[in-house]
Amino acid sequence: MKNLLSLKVLTLVALLIFTLTANAQSVPRPEYPRPDLARAEWQTLNGAWQFEFDDANRGLKEGWYKTPAQKFSRTIQVPFAFQTKLSGINDPSYHDVVWYRRNLDVPANFRAGNKRVMLNFGAVDYEAIVWINGERAGEHRGGNAPFAFDITDLLQPSGNSVVVRAFDPSTDRTIPRGKQFWEPKSAAIWYTRTTGIWQPVWIETVAPTYVKRLRITPDVDNSQVKIETILNQPTSAGEKLRFTATLRGKTIQTEISAQTTGGANPFATLHLNDQDLWSPERPTLYDLRVELTSANNQTIDRVDSYFGQRKIAVQGDKIFLNNNPYYQKLVLDQGYWQDSTITPPTDEAIKYDIEMAKKFGFNGARKHQKVEDPRWLYWCDKLGFLVWGEMANAFDIYTDDY
């Protein structure tokens, strides 16, 4: 009974902290959204956007994406879906087509030299079309995956605008929906729907040739880590990649790849003497910097990431972590927040949630029917929390559009 009372008190305190923190932030979720592929020059687009329901599906025909255009009648706080309290709208009823618009002030330094400006969306449920200054920048289908568009050539010197149309069929049970209910009200194990933008939006600069993704694979048995770098296009003659791993501010190894010209993704292997292994009890993380350099050794593009040296294996009926049997004590976490459904209200709330789970004796979570925010995964890595990840499933025969 005493433990139950303590849990209730902690829950009330947590809700108060999350509410006060969210209300205190003039721009919601201001932190950099993608810690595993971080860039120094960026600007959040979270916060107030113009917003409109389009229940009659008139927007495309009437050209709502054109500029100048009539203002939308509502205001929404991105990245929260209109069904949530933190969005400022808090309307759980069916609205399958919604529109967003905001001014886009691009800093002058973003346009200097040969920089390219990328517009990033953490996730939009379910289909999105994006326009810059009335010109289509691109479209994306799938409510759980990030996407980005190069908007450089669509930008004007000033007075830019971005418009987003999102379509999410509320009652379609064939699309990946996780725990989102297709009926008007939540019931049993089915919860409030999410429509439109539900993860952060931001712009950032890249070089003409830039790092799109990293695949980092620890090799604990050989005290090394393998890194595959996915670029947006083949490099030019003489360009190389430089990989630098550091631990607690000390450089562990720097590796320079061979010339990367061609279509294959370049690989690098970093050797880690006296490697410091990651575990929930000791969540050691190495910092990683990847730089694309020119023939005269000038940095063209740079991203910062991190990794933990750990090995997970299955032998018989046991799970092994770093070659030792490991007993998992996992909490079933469906990733819903009281005032913001599947969007975490603040970065502090994510961190607090994981810290509380650890204090109650759990060493990880089964993230049920949800592709989680990258900041949640980052804090799991940072604080030492195992993750069993799941895709947001469909209820009926599903599509391949995530």
Q: pLDDT, tens digit, for every residue of 269-298?
A: 999 999 999 999 999 999 999 999 999 999
- pLDDT of 336 over the 50 cut: yes
- pLDDT of 301 over the 50 cut: yes
Domains, in order of start, for the chain: 43-206 (2.60.120.260), 211-307 (2.60.40.10)
- pLDDT of 364 over the 60 cut: yes
pLDDT at 400: 61
Q: If pLDDT is split at 50, 70 and 90, which confidence band does 256 have?
A: confident
Q: pLDDT, tens digit, for every residue of 8-29?
A: 444 544 555 555 444 445 999 9
What pTM does this model have? Answer: 0.90
3-state secondary structure the chain: CHHHHHHHHHHHHHHHHHHHHHHHCCCCCCCCCCHHHECCCEEECCEEEEEEECCCCCHHHHCCCCCCCCCCCEEEEECCCCCCCCCCCCCCCCCCEEEEEEEECCCHHHHCCCCEEEEEECCEECEEEEEECCEEEEEEECCCCCEEEECHHHCCCCCEEEEEEEECCCCCCCCCCCCECCCCCCECCEECCCCEECCCEEEEEECCCCEEEEEEEEEHHHCEEEEEEEECCCCCCCCEEEEEEEECCEEEEEEECCCCCCCCCCEEEEECCCCCEECCCCECCEEEEEEEECCCCCEEEEEEEEECECCEEEECCEEEECCEECCCCEEEECCCECCCECCCCCHHHHHHHHHHHHHCCCCEEEECCCCCCHHHHHHHHHHCCEEECCCCCCCCCCCCCC
